[in-house]
Amino acid sequence: MESGFKSDCGKIREQNEDNYLQTEQNGLKIFAVADGMGGHNAGEVASSIAIEMLRDHNFSFNRVPGDLIEVIEAINNQIKNKAEQNPEYQGMGTTLTAAVLSENQVYIGHVGDSRAYLLRNREFKQLTEDHSLVNRLVKDGKITAEEAKDHPQSNVLLQALGTESQVDIDLIELEAKTGDLFLLCSDGLNTMLSDREVKSILLEEKSLQQKADKLVQRAKEFGGYDNITINLFAVS
């Protein structure tokens, strides 16, 4: 399996609070992106907790969906407890979009507004749904998708790990096919580049690492207002 990854601070932020994971365990391939939030380095702490607990979780080949829910709930509790015990971490949280490839099945656990995309047969599709205020407003017909791009509350999340005792986790399952290309990313990418622009770069005849590098480069050229993290893997 080919993969590529790149994480960058961007052009405005002083610190990168994103974290990512590419690992293999018990015959399973695991990929993730976490975008932390909170002052005084707390965002980086929250996203690090998410990635470390995901890496250390003992996934079972026969119960990947249950394992994903279990570990994400544990991450939520761990971050919330750490914030309650440390005043400097009060209010910290993180998004998490994690994909587990098990033979020909891909399972995705998702909370927040990081994203998972699939490029299949030149069709580019967003698999996850943003847990954000602007996405809710679009779904409710109160604003248009175009208005959502520059909405003043575009950074308001309705769900993140560590901010509430209970969390609703989106679980997506799909059959992987040869040639599929999966992209996990923090919102520092999709707030700078349109889906059309991202698709165009993914279709270029380059390695996945070159594609990841190019996506970050272009996001920075278009402003780079936030941390940018790219996690790519292809099914062969």
CATH no. for residue 57? 3.60.40.10
Tell me the pLDDT tens digit for each residue of 161-190.
999 999 999 999 999 999 999 999 999 999
> Which pTM was predicted?
0.95
- Residue found under tokens 């994971």: 21
Question: Each residue's pLDDT tens digit in the chain (236 positions)?
Answer: 799 999 999 999 999 999 999 999 999 999 999 999 987 679 999 999 999 999 999 999 899 999 999 999 999 999 999 999 999 999 999 999 999 999 899 999 999 999 999 999 999 999 999 998 888 888 888 887 777 777 777 778 999 999 999 999 999 999 999 999 999 999 999 999 999 999 999 999 999 999 999 999 999 999 999 999 999 999 98
CA nearest to 234, candidates 174, 183, 189: 183
pLDDT digits (tens, 9 = 90+) for 106-115: 999 999 999 9
Partner residues linked to 110 by β-bridges: 97, 170
Which backbone phi and psi does 14 adopt, to 5 degrees?
A: -85, -20
Q: Which domain holds residue 42?
A: 3-234
Cα angle 185, 187, 189; round to 5: 70
- Can you tell me the distance from the alpha carbon of 158 to that of 74, in angstroms, rounded to the nearest whole number? 19
- Residue 190, amino acid: N
Provide the number of structural domains found in the chain. 1
